[in-house]
C-alpha cells in the first residue's frame, strides 16, 4: 500500500507516533488510497519549531514578494487542475466537474491574495497635536493552526492558508483525515511555487493532533471549518488561552420560492443546491419553502427530476451525484431519514442506501461497494421537526409550505444557523425585503444557496460563525493585527488630550 507522510520544514516524514490510518475511497471500499501518519505532540513540536524559525524571515519579506510566490502557486494549481481534480474525486467522491470548481476557488484565491499583497491598505489620519503623524497598518498574527473539513479539500483550506501567508503568517495545517492526499498535493504545490521551508507544514491525523494544535501555547490563531459542536469547543478552549479563533460551521439553508418566481429556474436551483456535492456543503440547500399556490406543481416536477439524477463514480462524467464520505455519514443520514418518517413528514422519494437497482451512471459500477444514498425528498415538513432544524449534511431535502413572504422569512430564520439563504421571485420588493430580513451571512436572489465566489466575504451568523468572514478583503481582518504608530516631530513633549486643550 502507498505510504504518505507529514510535511514539516519542507521534509516529508513519518509520525513519531509510528501510528497510521487508511484513506479509503468513498465510492469503492476496496480502493485504498494509502496510509497516512497519525500525528502526535512530538510532530507538532517539530512543526512549531520550524514555523517559528521560518516566521522570522517570512514576515520580513516584502508583501508583494510573498504575493509573487502565491501567484505562482495559483499558476501551478491551474496547470495541475485535471490531475488534482481526479485525486480529490477519488478520495472524497464528488464528481470531477465539481472538484475542478473546488480547485478553481483556490486559483481565484491565490490570484486575489497575490494582488492584495500590493494593497493591504492601512490608514493615515490627522493627529490632534501639531507636528505629529498618526498611522495604523496591518501586521501578521504569527503561527496559524488551520483545521478543515473534507468536502472542499482544496478550496476551503486555500481560503485560510493563502491569505494567512500573504499577510506574513506561517501555517500548520491539519486537513481532514478523509482528504489527506489533497493536502499533500497542496503542500507540493506550495513548495513548487517557491515557498521557503517551514512556512507551511502539514500534520495528518484526527482529534489528538487537532486538540494539540488548539492547545499549543505558541500557536497564535486557529482557523477552523467543520461542525458547530467541534467549533464551539475549539472556541471555548481558545477563549481560555486568549487565542484568536475564526470559525466556519454548520448551516441549515433555505430556498424560498414565491408564487411569482420562474418555477423552472427555482427547480433547477433547488436540485443543484440540495444534491450537488451529495448535499455535503455547509451552504447546501437543505430546506425549500414553497408558496402554497405553487406547492403541488413544484413537487410534482421536482420529484421527477430527482429520479433522473444518476449515482456513481465521480470520475465518470455521466455521474450527477457521488457517494457520501464514510460509514459514519451514512449512519447519521439514515438516522435522520428515520427521524423524519417518525415525525410525520412525507417521504416522497429516496430514503435508503442505493443499491444496483438504482439509476446509475454506469451499469457495471457496483454501488454496493461505496457509500451511496438515494437522493431523498421529504414534503410536508414543519418547523418543529428535527429534519427542518438540524444539519444532516447529506442528500436529504425538506420541503415546507407558506402563504406569505413574512411567513417564509420567519420559517427561514427559525433555525439556529445562519450561513446562506435564497429567494426566487420576480418581484423587486419581495427580493429586497428578503435581503433585509433573512438572518444569514449570504442571501442569493434567483440563485441557489450554494455558489460563493472567492472575492466576496463568506461566513454566517448565529450557530454558523463567530463574527468573522473569510474570502475577499475581509479575510485579512482574521489574519492580521493592527499596529498603530504615532510619530511626533515637534521636538517637545506633547501630551495628548491635555496640552492641546490647555487654555
Ligand atoms: C463549504 O461547504 O464549506 O458556496 C464551502 C459554496 C462553495 C463553498 C462551500 N463555493 O457552496
pTM of the predicted model as reported, rounded to 2 decimal places: 0.97
**450 CB within 6 A, ligand 1:** yes
pLDDT, residue 280, reads 98
Please state the rounded mean pLDDT for residues 211-215.
98
Are 214 and 145 in contact, with CB atoms under 8 Å apart?
Answer: yes
Catalytic pick from 110, 144, 238, 282? 282
pLDDT, residue 503, reads 62
- Whether 110 is a known active-site residue: answer no
**158 CB within 6 A, ligand 1:** no
Share of the chain above pLDDT 90, in %: 99
Please state the rounded mean pLDDT for residues 37-56.
98
Q: For the chain, give the number of residues.
A: 503
Instruction: State the cell numbers at 357.
Output: 437497482
Instruction: State the cell numbers at 443.
Output: 442571501
Instruction: State the cell numbers at 264.
Output: 423552472
Give tens-digit pLDDT for 370-384.
999 999 999 999 999
Please state the rounded mean pLDDT for residues 260-281.
98
**200 CB within 6 A, ligand 1:** no
Burial class (CB in 10 A: 0-12, 13-18, 19+), 437: middle
Share of the chain above pLDDT 70, in %: 100
Distance 102 CA to ligand 1 centre (A): 9
Are 202 and 183 in contact, with CB atoms under 8 Å apart?
Answer: yes
pLDDT, residue 500, reads 82
Please state the rounded mean pLDDT for residues 286-315.
98
- pLDDT-derived band at 239 (thresholds 50, 70, 90) equals very high
**148 CB within 6 A, ligand 1:** no
pLDDT, residue 173, reads 99
**161 CB within 6 A, ligand 1:** no
What is d(CA 348, CA 279) in angstroms, rounded to the nearest whole number? Answer: 17
pLDDT, residue 44, reads 98
Catalytic pick from 46, 98, 105, 248? 248
Distance 284 CA to ligand 1 centre (A): 8
Give tens-digit pLDDT for 101-157.
999 999 999 999 999 999 999 999 999 999 999 999 999 999 999 999 999 999 999
What is d(CA 430, CA 219) in angstroms, rounded to the nearest whole number? Answer: 47
Count of alpha carbons within 13 angstroms of residue 82, beta-carbon side: 1
Q: Which atom of ligand 1 is nearest to the CA of 452?
A: 4
Residue 502 scores a pLDDT above 70: no
Please, what is the average pLDDT of the chain?
98
- pLDDT-derived band at 501 (thresholds 50, 70, 90) equals confident
Picking from 408, 367, 371, the residue whose alpha carbon sits closest to that of residue 279 is: 371
pLDDT, residue 52, reads 98
Give tens-digit pLDDT for 35-46.
999 999 999 999
Please state the rounded mean pLDDT for residues 224-246.
97
Please state the rounded mean pLDDT for residues 192-211.
98
Give the pairing of strands 32-37 and 20-24: antiparallel
- Whether 282 is a known active-site residue: answer yes
Structural domains in the chain plus CATH codes: 6-11+40-249+465-484 (3.40.605.10), 253-445 (3.40.309.10)
Distance 280 CA to ligand 1 centre (A): 9
Give the pairing of strands 200-202 and 170-174: parallel
What is d(CA 131, CA 84) in angstroms, rounded to the nearest whole number? Answer: 57
Amino acid at each position: 500500500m502507498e505510504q504518505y507522510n507529514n510535511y514539516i520544514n519542507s521534509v516529508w516524514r513519518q509520525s513519531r507516533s509510528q501510528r497510521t490510518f487508511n484513506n479509503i475511497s468513498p465510492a469503492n471500499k476496496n480502493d485504498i488510497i494509502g496510509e497516512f501518519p497519525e500525528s502526535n505532540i512530538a510532530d507538532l513540536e517539530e512543526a512549531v519549531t520550524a514555523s517559528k524559525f521560518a516566521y522570522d524571515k517570512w514576515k520580513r519579506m516584502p508583501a508583494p514578494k510573498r504575493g509573487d510566490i502565491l501567484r505562482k502557486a495559483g499558476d501551478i494549481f491551474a496547470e495541475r487542475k485535471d490531475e488534482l481534480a481526479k485525486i480529490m474525486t477519488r478520495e472524497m467522491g464528488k464528481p470531477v466537474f465539481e472538484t475542478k470548481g473546488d480547485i478553481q476557488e483556490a486559483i481565484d484565491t491565490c490570484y486575489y491574495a497575490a494582488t492584495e499583497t500590493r494593497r493591504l491598505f492601512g490608514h493615515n489620519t490627522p493627529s490632534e497635536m501639531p507636528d505629529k503623524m498618526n498611522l495604523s497598518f496591518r501586521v501578521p498574527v504569527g503561527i496559524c493552526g488551520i483545521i478543515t473539513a473534507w468536502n472542499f479539500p482544496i478550496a476551503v483550506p486555500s481560503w485560510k492558508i493563502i491569505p494567512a501567508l500573504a499577510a506574513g503568517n506561517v501555517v500548520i495545517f491539519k486537513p481532514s483525515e478523509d482528504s489527506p492526499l489533497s493536502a499533500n498535493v497542496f503542500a507540493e504545490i506550495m513548495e513548487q511555487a517557491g515557498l521557503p521551508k517551514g512556512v507551511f507544514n502539514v500534520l495528518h491525523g484526527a482529534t489528538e493532533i487537532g486538540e494539540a494544535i488548539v492547545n499549543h501555547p505558541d500557536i497564535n490563531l486557529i482557523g477552523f471549518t467543520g461542525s458547530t459542536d467541534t467549533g464551539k469547543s475549539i472556541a471555548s478552549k481558545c477563549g481560555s488561552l486568549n487565542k484568536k479563533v475564526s470559525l466556519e460551521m454548520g448551516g441549515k439553508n433555505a430556498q424560498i420560492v414565491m408564487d411569482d418566481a420562474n418555477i423552472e429556474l427555482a427547480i433547477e436551483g433547488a436540485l443543484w443546491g440540495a444534491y450537488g456535492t451529495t448535499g455535503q456543503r455547509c451552504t447546501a440547500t437543505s430546506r425549500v419553502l414553497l408558496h402554497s399556490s405553487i406547492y403541488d406543481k413544484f413537487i410534482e416536477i421536482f420529484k421527477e427530476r430527482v429520479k433522473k439524477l444518476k449515482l456513481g463514480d465521480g470520475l465518470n462524467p455521466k455521474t450527477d451525484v457521488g457517494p457520501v464520505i464514510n460509514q459514519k455519514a451514512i449512519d447519521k443520514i439514515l438516522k435522520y431519514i428515520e427521524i423524519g418518517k417518525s415525525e410525520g413528514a412525507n417521504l416522497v422519494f429516496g430514503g435508503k442506501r442505493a443499491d444496483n437497482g438504482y439509476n446509475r451512471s454506469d451499469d457495471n459500477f457496483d454501488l454496493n461497494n461505496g457509500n451511496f444514498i438515494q437522493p431523498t425528498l421529504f414534503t410536508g415538513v414543519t418547523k418543529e421537526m428535527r429534519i427542518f432544524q438540524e444539519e444532516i449534511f447529506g442528500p436529504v431535502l425538506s420541503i415546507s409550505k407558506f402563504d406569505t413572504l413574512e411567513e417564509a422569512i420567519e420559517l427561514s430564520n427559525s433555525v439556529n444557523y445562519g450561513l446562506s439563504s435564497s429567494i426566487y421571485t420576480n418581484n423587486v420588493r419581495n427580493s429586497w425585503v428578503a435581503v433585509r430580513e433573512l438572518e444569514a451571512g449570504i442571501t442569493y436572489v434567483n440563485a441557489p444557496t450554494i455558489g460563493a465566489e472567492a472575492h466576496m466575504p463568506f461566513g454566517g451568523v448565529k450557530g454558523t460563525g463567530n463574527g468573522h468572514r473569510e474570502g475577499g478583503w475581509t479575510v485579512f481582518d482574521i489574519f492580521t493585527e493592527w499596529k498603530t504608530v504615532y510619530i511626533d516631530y515637534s521636538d517637545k513633549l506633547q501630551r495628548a488630550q491635555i496640552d492641546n486643550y490647555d487654555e
